């Protein structure tokens, strides 16, 4: 997956605009609910998901019709581990555009995912029991607090007047999470759109038409016909070329239908992308079908048998490493575009990981180890739909033997030299902090890459301070010294 190109961004903004009515008489008041939980720091081709969302939303709101009353609600952006971290940043109004752009671009993901409570709060503020209203939820993960999204959707449908929730599942890999978000949208008559990449997000959003005016009844159209041609067999995670013939109407797409199940489609690609077009093969091993789907009729109008075969991978690295240091990792595998090797807590599931490198870097690469000692796993991840762990191998991360040497007293506003023995990460840092203050709450600091001994500014205010050695990863304190500032 590539970072959004100019053309993709224009296509995404055009597609998103279909979710909002174009005339004042049709326009329900609308609130965008944005996921700012910690997982939004996850990266797609080196770009954090929150950055992609900020860029897209900033451009989108400038292009929406001025008649639409638009608001913004965000969750998980202020505190870690707090299910009550929900904030209505901007109330719906016609003059909210610049305020929404400013608010979105200041967001720093931190916390949990109280998505159900956030939707409830947005609905209440939209007065959904009194007038038509719409919520557009963008989330990259499952509910992590105490509410059931399905039950919340049913409650809003029962109490609302023309209330609708549309859900965009961004980079969702777990079927359980996808089903949870689908249920929230379905219970209110809204649409669920799944996308596992920026390009996929663009394609999915072209299908958002639920908020358009309901047309007058028209005669039943003549059945559409199509044909589809592709390989009869391919390895999981590979890319295949599929040729097609068909009506090529807006929203029509090519997909893989899993095991002949009429409900589960993967690897969707809009036919407007090209002919032939390239799709990514699902990780689900077995007999499936390539299909052409008529988006308007929501029916399959062409199909061809297709088998997905197993693919193997291997990893080679030392089984013991030092916290915060690097480890040389060699691999073999399919090396498909977007495949990567990561390190995660032992037995953790996708999409969770700590650090990674793309296999395009070569048959071996260095991987930064976690800052905390413990039992971890190296994993080869196939960039399929959804992603799949092809192989994994254990690695024990041991704590570093670290020390610092510094003066016990220092003059306020001066600098001191600190001798240190730490890791090879030049982004580690040594900082002054007040004793007992929680992370990070630093007063002054310097990165270890600046030298040894390291020159560190002394705080301006006298008092007792802690000199803390931090790992760059996750701001872990590894060593402390007490320094009196006079």
Instruction: Give the model confidence (pLDDT) of 31-54 as tens digits.
Output: 989 998 988 888 887 888 888 888
Which runs of consecutive H residues, i.e. helices, occur in 71-169?
A: 97-105, 115-125, 149-159
| pLDDT(414) > 70 | yes
Q: What b/e readout covers 63-86, taking b as 16+ CB neighbours within 10 angstroms?
A: ebeeebbbbbbbbbbbeeeebebb
Find out whether 75 and 85 touch, Cβ atoms under 8 Å.
Answer: yes
pLDDT of residue 20: 54
Q: Over range 298-322, report the average pLDDT.
A: 92
Phi, psi of 66 (to 5 degrees): -65, -15
Element (H, E) at 364: strand 364-368
Strand partners, 293: 253, 300
pLDDT of 215 reads 53
pLDDT at residue 213 tops 70 = no
Sign of CA dihedral 288, 294, 297, 303: negative
Residues in the chain: 486
pLDDT at 422: 76
Task: Give me the mean pLDDT over the 207-234 stretch.
Answer: 69
Average pLDDT, the chain: 85
**Predicted confidence band at 175 (pLDDT cuts at 50, 70, 90)?**
confident
């Amino acid at each position: 997956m590539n970072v959004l190109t100019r053309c993709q961004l224009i296509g995404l903004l055009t597609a998103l605009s279909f979710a909002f009515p174009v005339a004042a008489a049709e326009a329900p008041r609308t609130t965008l609910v944005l996921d700012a939980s910690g997982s939004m720091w996850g990266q797609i081709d080196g770009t954090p998901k929150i950055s992609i969302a900020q860029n897209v939303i900033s451009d989108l709101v400038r292009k929406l019709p001025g008649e639409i009353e638009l608001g913004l609600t965000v969750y998980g952006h202020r505190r870690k581990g707090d299910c009550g971290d929900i904030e209505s940043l901007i109330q719906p109004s016609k003059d909210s555009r610049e305020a929404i752009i400013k608010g979105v671009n200041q967001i720093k993901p931190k916390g949990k995912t109280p998505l159900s409570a956030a939707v409830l709060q947005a609905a209440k503020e939209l007065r959904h029991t009194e007038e038509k209203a719409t919520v557009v939820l963008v989330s990259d993960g499952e509910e992590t607090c105490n509410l059931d999204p399905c039950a919340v959707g049913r409650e809003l449908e029962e109490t609302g007047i023309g209330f609708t929730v549309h859900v965009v599942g961004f980079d969702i890999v777990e079927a359980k999470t996808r089903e949870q978000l689908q249920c929230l949208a379905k219970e209110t008559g809204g649409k669920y759109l799944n996308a596992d990449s920026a390009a996929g997000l663009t394609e999915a959003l072209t299908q958002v038409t639920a908020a358009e005016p309901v047309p007058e009844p028209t005669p039943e159209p003549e059945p559409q016909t199509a044909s589809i041609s592709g390989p009869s067999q391919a390895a999981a995670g590979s890319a295949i070329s599929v040729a097609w013939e068909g009506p090529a109407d807006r929203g029509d797409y090519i997909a893989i239908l899993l095991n002949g199940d009429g409900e589960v489609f993967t690897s969707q690609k809009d036919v407007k992308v090209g002919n032939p077009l390239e799709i990514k093969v699902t990780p689900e091993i077995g007999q499936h079908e390539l299909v052409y789907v008529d988006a308007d009729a929501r029916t399959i109008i062409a199909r061809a048998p297709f088998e997905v075969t197993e693919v193997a991978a291997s990893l080679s690295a030392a089984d013991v490493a030092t916290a915060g240091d690097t480890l040389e990792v060699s691999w073999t595998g399919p090396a498909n575009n977007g495949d990567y090797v990561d390190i995660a807590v032992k037995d953790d599931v996708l999409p969770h990981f700590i650090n990674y490198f793309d296999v395009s870097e070569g048959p071996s690469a260095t991987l930064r180890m976690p800052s905390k000692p413990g039992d971890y796993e190296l994993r080869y991840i196939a960039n399929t739909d959804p992603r799949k762990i092809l192989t994994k191998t254990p690695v024990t991360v041991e704590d570093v033997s670290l020390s610092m040497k510094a003066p016990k007293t220092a003059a306020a506003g001066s600098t001191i030299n600190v001798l240190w023995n730490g890791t090879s990460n030049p982004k580690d840092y040594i900082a002054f902090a007040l004793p007992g203050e929680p992370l990070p709450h630093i007063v002054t600091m310097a990165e270890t890459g600046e030298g040894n001994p390291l020159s560190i500014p002394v705080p301006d205010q006298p008092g007792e301070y802690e000199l803390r050695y931090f790992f760059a990863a996750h701001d872990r304190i590894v060593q402390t010294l007490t320094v009196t500032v006079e």
